[in-house]
Amino acid sequence: MGARQKRPPIGTVMWDVHENRYYEKGSVLVRLEYVVTSAPIESYFEGGYVELVMCGPIPNGDYSSPTPRYHKLSDIGKTVFYTAREAALHAKELTEKYERTWGWTKDPPMRRTWEKYLKETDE
């Protein structure tokens, strides 16, 4: 059994990455991008393992709505992060993997809305 992981306090803002599908003006093709979003920890859920519960906006087409999302406590640093930069690095990894896998389709490069989080913290 692994070591117990310390729980961030309720209200701690965490960052995660989501797939967002959208249409470009004048096109009927659905495009994909990875976006970085943040939300505070609302509570914890304990079942077979501990999940942190976050609730905040996730891009969804032309609007954003508050959406609950759940992450294992053990996923901190893997799929949910303390900083926007860490989440942006994960989004970059997912974007590059997607483009390597599907590059043969000759689709244009994916949008990189998360790049601003890399630039803000670079020194």
Whether residue 8 lies inside any domain: the answer is no
Whether residue 36 lies inside any domain: the answer is yes
* C-alpha to C-alpha distance for 101 and 66, rounded to whole angstroms: 32
Q: Cα 9 vs. chain centroid, distance in angstroms?
A: 20
Whether residue 3 lies inside any domain: the answer is no
**DSSP secondary-structure letter at 105?**
G
Whether residue 1 lies inside any domain: the answer is no
Q: How far apart are the first and last CA of the chain?
A: 40
Whether residue 60 lies inside any domain: the answer is yes
Number of domains in the chain: 1
Look up the domain containing 59 and give its range. Answer: 13-23+30-121
* pLDDT tens digits in sequence order for the chain, 123 residues long: 455 678 999 999 999 999 988 888 888 888 899 999 999 999 999 988 899 999 988 876 555 678 899 999 999 999 999 999 999 999 999 999 999 998 888 888 899 999 999 985 444
Give pTM, 2 decimals.
0.84
Whether residue 81 lies inside any domain: the answer is yes
